[in-house]
Copies of this chain bind each other. A is one copy, B any other.
Amino acid sequence: MQRLYFDKTTILGVGLIGASFAMALKGRGISGHIAGWGRKEKNLRTALKKGIIDSYELDPCKACEGSDLVVLATPPGAFPALAKKIRPSLKKGAILTDVGSVKGRLAYGLETLMPKGVYFVGSHPIAGGNKSGIEAADPGLFEGALCVVTETGNTNATALRKVVALWKALGSTVIKMPPEEHDRVYGLVSHLPHLLAYALVNTVADVDESLIGFAGPGFRDTTRIAGSPSGLWADIAVENKKNLLRYIDLYTANLKRLKTYLKKEDRGSLEKDFKRAQKLRERMRA
């Protein structure tokens, strides 16, 4: 079996995920030179000083020159324009992947944009936490985490195998699925929860902002993801609009049922409803 190694890797967007990925590649000896690109030079300088990247460029095309692996790690809304821009500078044989939380149209669009001999394979590492930015970067971020790798009818088999091997090498459990299946699944277990968390904090704001000072650990956990970057999640929400509209309706139907029980003071039905959730939630711990 050939050893997995990339002579040069380019990270486009050196935030929590991009920086953690770079550190993980370095730590496991999977990449030679790692070049970074981003909108904020200050951030790139910090990444360079910390040894997370080996060089940086202010022009994404320059950053991609000669790279064997290019990773889109900006908010997904920037992917199409960025891919169009770097297209001419991609080396033949290069693999382009991303770490975006939404796939669908974007993944198909990126695939179509690739010049001959350059292959796109989408990735979504299910990792992160309550922090963002390179200060929180962690080479172990992907260890023990799930990573979805997207596969379409046009995916190049060799590139797919390499991208799968890459995430496995970083300690992740890889699941392959088509982009639309990814969005159906993660619309439900990730995008919907983000919207709900933002809506909960905004409901507190509607009533009285200061009441957040009385909140305890339950509220803290429930709304942790409402601290996520608003621009990134606006991108994701718009991209996964179709699934989200359906899920919001299903969710609203659940709330409506709870309201009916509450109005009737139907304690038994409330308990049954909560129990159903409690049991499924407990299965998650295993």
A197 at the interface (CB under 8 A from B): yes
A226-B270 in contact given A204-B189, A238-B262, A262-B245 (Cβ < 8 Å):
no
Contact between chains at A202 and B238 (CB < 8 Å): no
Q: Is the C-beta of A209 less than 8 angstroms from some C-beta in chain B? A: yes
* A214 & B238 in contact (Cβ 8 Å cutoff): no
A189-B219, A222-B221, A245-B263 known; A229 vs B278 contact (CB < 8 Å): yes
Q: Which of A145, A245, A281: most chain B CB closer than 10 A?
A: A281
Does chain B have a CB within 8 A of A165? no
A169 within 8 A of B: no
**Which one, B199, B222, B274, contacts A230 given CB within 8 A?**
B274
In contact, B195 and A280 (Cβ under 8 angstroms) = no
A126 touches B214 (CB 8 A): yes
Q: Inside 8 A of A201's CB, which chain B residues have their CB? A: 276-278, 280-281
| Chief secondary structure at chain A's binding surface | helix
Q: Give the docked Cα–Cα distance between A212 and B254 (Å).
A: 17
- Using a Cβ–Cβ cut-off of 8 Å, how many residues does chain A contribute to the interface with B? 88
B-side contacts of A192, CB under 8 Å:
200, 203
* Chain B residue nearest in CB terms to A247: B203
Contacting pair A245 B259 (CB below 8 A): yes
List of B residues within 8 angstroms of A284 by Cβ = 212, 215, 220, 223
CB distance from A49 to the nearest CB of B (A): 26
Mark contacts of A184-226 with chain B using CB atoms, 8 A cut-off: 1 yes-contact digit, 0 otherwise.
0110111011111111111111110101101111111111111
A217 to B144, CA, bound (A): 12
Residue of B nearest to A236 (CB): B270
- CB of B248 within 8 A of CB of A281, answer no
Contact of A217 among B127, B188, B204 (CB under 8 A): B127
23 A-B contact pairs sorted by A residue (CB < 8 Å): A77-B267, A188-B211, A193-B223, A194-B218, A196-B255, A197-B222, A197-B277, A198-B278, A199-B258, A200-B251, A203-B250, A203-B254, A212-B283, A218-B224, A221-B222, A223-B281, A227-B278, A233-B270, A233-B274, A234-B267, A234-B270, A234-B274, A238-B262
Which residues on A are within 8 Å of B, measured CB to CB?
A: 77, 126-129, 145-146, 148, 175, 185-186, 188-190, 192-207, 209, 211-212, 214-231, 233-235, 237-238, 241, 244-245, 247-248, 250-252, 254-255, 258-259, 262-263, 265, 267-268, 270-278, 280-285
